Amino acid sequence: MVEKKPVKIVVIVAALLIVTASFFTGVYFGFENRPAIERVVGVQNKENPTNLKNVDFNLFWDVWSRIEEKFVYKEKIDRDKLILGAISGMVRSLDDPYTEFLPPVESKQFQEDIRGSFEGIGAEIGMRKGILTIIAPLKGSPAEKAGLKAGDKILQIDSTSTAEVLLDEAVRKIRGPKGTTVRLIVLRNSFDKPREFKIVRDTIKVQIVETEVKPDGVFVIKLHQFTENAAIDFRKAVQEFYASNSKKLVFDLRNDPGGYLQIAVDISGWFLPAGEITARERMADGAEEIYRSPGYKLFENVPTVVLVNQGSASASEIVAGALRDIRNIKLVGTKTFGKGSVQEVQALPGGSSLKITIAKWLTPKGTEINGKGLEPDVTVELPKEEDQDPKKDLIMEKGIEVLKGL
């Protein structure tokens, strides 16, 4: 009996090993053949979202496996590119021109752009009703010198039609090394047919603020863009206003395509009392984040008008809307662009980034800007381009006229 015990133990251990092996083999088989949705969710270590339960991710893996198995040019299969391409396609399907996946090279270029110095033609572009449109040419840029104007529709970039081109993809095609030429086919409301513009790229350095002293105690601050340094330059403009002994202010936001939210809030603080709402961000779930004026006060009691046009967008519209809602400051000019969505740039592994629309802008009184723009309080009817006198600034003249009546 003593000699048989080891045999029983061995048999029992062997049986346990077989059962265990069978169990883990089954687990592995089940794991490898689980629904693709579980694989995707498992990577994020999150529970299955209710709205994803009916999504069949198996199709993705099915296509991937067929490429691996059937594609004849095996040497062309770059799995990193497959992943990047799949992500880009997923983001593109959202049909939002301001949401885009940026691979490493494009991500680096984007970061250079928002710092205010880059090589290209110097024009802010956006999407209006699905058409690539000039929001505003930057002052002194090749785009402005070539004659491009806010509202111009870009139909073609070199030999590429813009009908199916994403916004940031178009930006990259228009950008390029200093000294090179880009050819744009442009349609303007005053054109009877599209025209060609050949523009030589240059190094673009964004001029942020201009000031001018007008007769009768009128001072003009022209803000070109809400860049990183705009708050500092605007502070200097405030000092110039008081040094000039001016009494009234024209705040010119024409052709200002926007920029940083915090800069917009900061600049609004010169006009609005402390604690007043400057802007609202409405998120996907309906929640709102409120931004309030820091209350610098120096322009709080200064008679002011704001000049706007179709090149005024994003942060420009936020500031213009806040000054009108809180101070009843008059907007003079033409309807603004209507870019009222909020983007957040999220860094991703490997140098990529995701620029994603996370919210909508609203004015302090809750007016939605996106796709609508702001109607001016005093509309200036402009003549056709061929009838315009380049020496006359009708919007500025009307703004000063309104200001003198305050």
pLDDT at 52: 62
Q: Tell me, yes or no, whether 112 lies in a domain.
A: no
CA distances from 280 to 335, 336, 368, 372 (A): 21, 18, 10, 16
Q: Is residue 97 part of a domain?
A: no
Q: Does the pLDDT at position 36 exceed 60?
A: no
Sign of the four-CA dihedral 264, 266, 271, 277: positive
103: confidence class by pLDDT, cuts 50, 70, 90: confident
Indicate whether 125 belongs to any domain.
yes
- The answer to whether residues 123 and 137 touch, using CB atoms and an 8 Å cutoff, is yes
State residue 386's pLDDT score: 62
DSSP 75-136: GG--HHHHHHHHHHHHHHTT--TT-EEE-HHHHHHHHHHHTTEEEE--EEEEEETTEEEEEE
Q: Does residue 101 form part of some domain? A: no
CATH number (domain holding residue 170): 2.30.42.10
Place of tokens 């024409």: 254
- At 290, is the pLDDT very low, low, confident or very high (cuts 50, 70, 90)? very high
Structural domain span for residue 73: 2-43+56-92
Residue 242 lies in a domain: yes
Which of these is catalytic: 149, 248, 330, 339? 339
300 & 254 share domain: yes
Q: Are strands 277-283 and 209-214 parallel, antiparallel or unpaired?
A: unpaired
| pLDDT score, position 166 | 82
In this structure, the answer to whether residues 294 and 375 fall within a common structural domain is yes
- Are residues 173 and 222 both part of a single domain? no
For residue 339, with 0-12 CB atoms within 10 Å meaning exposed, 13-18 middle and 19 or more buried, which class applies? buried
DSSP β-bridge partners for residue 333:
308, 379
How large is the average pLDDT for residues 292-315? 95
In a domain, 304, yes or no: yes
Instruction: Write down which residue in 205, 230, 260 finishes a domain.
Output: 205
Is the pLDDT score of 289 beyond 50? yes
Say whether both 153 and 16 belong to one domain. Answer: no
Tell me which H or E stretch contains 185: strand 181-187
Residue 294 placed within a domain = yes
Q: Are residues 146 and 85 in the same domain?
A: no
H or E stretch at 312: none
Closest by CA to 96, choosing from 123, 130, 124, 55, is 130
Instruction: Say if residue 202's pLDDT is above 60.
Output: yes
pLDDT band at 108 (very low <50, low <70, confident <90, very high): confident
Predicted TM-score (pTM) of the model is: 0.71
Examine the pLDDT at 234 and tell me if it is beyond 70: yes
Which of 48-52, 164-168, 364-368 is the least confident region?
48-52
* 393 a catalytic residue: no
Residues 179 and 295 grouped into a single domain: no
**From 252, 293, 325, 355, the catalytic residue:** 325
Q: Do the bridges between strand 330-333 and strand 304-308 make them parallel or antiparallel, or are there none, so unpaired?
A: parallel
Residue 173 shares a structural domain with residue 293: no
Check whether residue 259 and residue 335 sit in a common domain.
Answer: yes
Residue (of 134, 239, 144, 261) closest to 188 by Cα position: 134
Q: What is the mean pLDDT of residues 42-64?
A: 66
**pLDDT at residue 102, as a whole number:** 86
N-terminal to C-terminal alpha carbon distance within the chain: 114
325 as an active site residue: the answer is yes
Geometric angle at alpha carbon 357, from 356 and 362, rounded to 5°: 155
Say which CATH number the domain at 331 has: 3.90.226.10
Decide if 129 is catalytic: no
Buried b (16+ CB within 10 A) or exposed e, 21-54: eeeeeeeeeeeeeeeebeebbeeeeeeeeeeeee
Q: For residue 32, is pLDDT > 80?
A: no
Same domain assignment for residues 243 and 311: yes
Asked if residue 65 belongs to a domain, the reply is: yes
Q: What is the mean pLDDT of residues 82-86?
A: 91
Residue 372 sits in the same domain as residue 233? yes
171 and 64 belong to one structural domain:
no
- Among 397, 360, 388, residue whose Cα is nearest residue 188: 388
Looking at the 3D structure of the chain, how many domains does it have? 3
Confidence of residue 345 (pLDDT cuts 50, 70, 90): confident
The pLDDT > 90 percentage for the chain reads 57
pLDDT for the residue 116:
55
Most distant CA pair in the chain: distance in Å? Answer: 119
CB count within 10 Å of CB 191 equals 12
Catalytic residue among 268, 312, 314, 341: 314
274 and 372 within one domain: yes
